[in-house]
Chains A and B, each alone.
Chain A
Amino acid sequence: MKKMFKILKYCLSDLMRSHWILFYFLFYLLIGFGLLLINTSFSNTIITLLNIIIVLSPLISSVFGITYFYNSKNFTQLLLAQPIDRKKIFIAQYLGVSFSLSLSLILGLSIPFILFGILSSQNLYEFILLLGISSVLTFIFSCISFYIGILNNNKLRGFGLTVVVWLIMAVVYDGLIMILLMIFREYPLTNPSLIAMLLNPIDLARTVLIINLDLSALLGYTGASFKLFFGTFYGIIICTISLLIWLFIPLTLLIRRIENKDF
């Protein structure tokens, strides 16, 4: 465990020095300030941010994850030659990437929001939810990218696959669901659409945020039934569980792959 923390610490300090994390941080800082200056209310800003973050944070974390994985390959191989549990090496690296990405997101957004007084506003809960959910998305997608990295030694293939996975999750899945809903429009679709949202982390994150931002009224009858589901304690538990499953599946796959891989 001590060794793992040591690697994690090294990893973090390495990442903090890299310009990309700084850029990522500055990007959110700028967006935060910019949106707060343009928009009049916190809830409006959070809704606009929701649009950006839901798309961007998975993309950035998967691309950044895979880049980091390939770039630190030599160092990883060096570490593998040492008497350290190989599981710990990768977990530490993965945690390093996800932590630093979420940290720059959280800090980058918190600074402008705190300066504009979110702490004393009613929207604090929604803001924390936004940060929490985007951090979870970061963890999920950097895990997926690590798994893809482990599976593919070919860098180009690895990059391509991460982008494709992101594209499927962010765009294609929605299109598919839309087509399915239109084909089966004669049937009661509230529950199927609800399940469809649970099966994709990006959609789930978006839905949870929309429900909590009280845009649910927009969704009409579907929104009402969604609110009944997501608004309750039960619903929140299910959402959390399904997000955790999304974190858990790639992580176990990753660990199993690490154990068996011949470097």
Chain B
Amino acid sequence: MVLNEVIISKSKLLFLILLWSSFINSQTIDVCKTCNFKTIKKAIKFSSINDTIFIQKGTYKESDIEINKPLIIIGNDRPIIDGEYEGEIFNIKSDDVIIKGLRIVNVGKSYIKDYAAIRVIRAKNFNISDNIFDNLFFGIYIEKSSHGVINNNKIYGNSKEEYSSGNGIQLWYSNDILVSNNYVTGVRDGIYLEFSDNCKIISNTSHNNLRYGLHFMFSDNDIYEKNSFVDNGAGVAVMFSKQINMNDNLFKDNWGTASYGLLLKEINDSNITNNIFDKNTTAVNIEGSNRLIFKHNNFTNNGWAIKVRGACYTNNFTYNNFIFNSFDLSYNSSVNDNIFENNYWSSYNGYDLDNDGYGDVPYRPVKLFTYIVNTVPETVVLLRGLFVHIINFSEKVSPVFTPRKLLDQNPLMNIIR
């Protein structure tokens, strides 16, 4: 009797262990042309929570694949998921979903809906990595989600017109997301954030996009590091945000009549350090922004290095290099509340008698011609004429029009390396 009970309890235990292990060691499902599951949709339908689905090499013509439970989807030898321009391709509606190693092509275009290659809706802890996107409308669209990772994806758009194209990576009302090592080209906005806080955008490359390489609005406490934004239609535009850290980024070749390296509008309490601005029409355009710190940035070969528009107060520009820019600084008011200190200016020709590394004569970054161009833009046609050189020189000797207090008291004599 006792023995019997022991056996029963043992078998109960065994059953429990089996149940538990089946729960933990979730099963794997293969999808291929010769497997049990020939389509991804069927595999997902059959799968249970936390299963791993391996998609083998091949082309799968599927769209509107809904993922509504925690799943791991991994592509072996980069299978192609072809949406045939039908609409969306992956639609993630559950937490803990991982998508890796796929090639997702041919997303549908629409003027009413934002079709995306992968859309994540109200999910947490997702991971979208090592995928390639081709022929897309929107690439990765994160909607009201959080704590996700978007890593090492390559997005190749072929956008022609702004109105008929989407964004590469878009975050909308999504917080605590890491976007890293992605490569985005040929879409409207490379990376776009709206109402997304505490995100990290690190080591991404965004170039040759129709509009902005990076674009964010109403997104606070975000970090942008080591990204490169090259040759985008209008550069990088960031608006209405605060506590932003932009470090070690590259803004290059954003050249055109309405292009900016970095356009800041209503950005407050942010740090912009160690960035490189090279060959942009306007490297930095600041409007209505306060308490920004610009430190250790390199401004080289730009048309305008810094354009300060209205309502910018207590911004701090220190230890930056300004090298061979057509205009170092353009300023449209006579009151100056911003600090320019200890920068290196290539057009500075003062001297340093006491050899302390700082010039003995203050430098005035605003030229008279800059002032004139600000008031009458058409006069810019006289750029590089002898007359312009002469009036700039005379203004430098005795400033009349340019803000008197706007000067770098201690300009550096040597480039900061």
Contact = CB atoms under 8 A, between A and B. Distances in A.
Are A and B physically bound partners? yes
Contacts of B324: 44
A83 interface: no
Contacts of A206: 384-385
B378 A174 contact: no
A2 to B, nearest CB: 43
Nearest to A214: B255
B281 A182 contact: no
Interface stretch (B124-132, B183-191, B369-377): B369-377
Interface in B368-393: 372, 375-388, 390-391
B326 interface: yes
Given A181-B378, A189-B378, A219 B387 contact: no
A134 interface: no
Interface in A14-65: 44, 50-51, 54-55
19 contacts: A44-B301, A54-B386, A170-B386, A174-B382, A178-B387, A181-B376, A182-B375, A189-B378, A194-B381, A202-B385, A210-B383, A215-B303, A217-B256, A217-B303, A218-B326, A219-B381, A222-B377, A222-B378, A222-B381
Nearest to A184: B376
Contact of A218 (B380, B386, B388, B390): B380
B256 A174 contact: no
A145 interface: no
A203 interface: yes
B301 to A, nearest CB: 8
Interface string A185-226: 100011011101100001100110010001111111111101
Given A217-B257, A218-B326, A222-B381, A175 B387 contact: yes
B302 to A, nearest CB: 9
> Taking each of A51, A202, A217, A221, which has the highest tally of chain B beta carbons within 10 Å of its own beta carbon?
A217
A171 interface: yes
A253 B64 CA distance: 80
Given A171-B390, A218-B303, A218-B326, A182 B372 contact: yes
Given A170-B386, A174-B386, A217-B281, A223 B375 contact: no
A79 interface: no
Which size class do B's interface residues fall under? Answer: 20 to 34
Interface residues of A, number: 39
A181 B259 CA distance: 25
Interface string A167-180: 00011101101100
Nearest to A217: B281
A197 B380 contact: no
B384 A221 contact: no
Q: Which 7 A-B pairs have the closest CB atoms?
A: A174-B387, A189-B378, A218-B303, A224-B257, A193-B378, A217-B281, A185-B376
B165 to A, nearest CB: 23
A218 B281 contact: yes
Contacts of A220: 257, 377, 380
A46 to B, nearest CB: 12
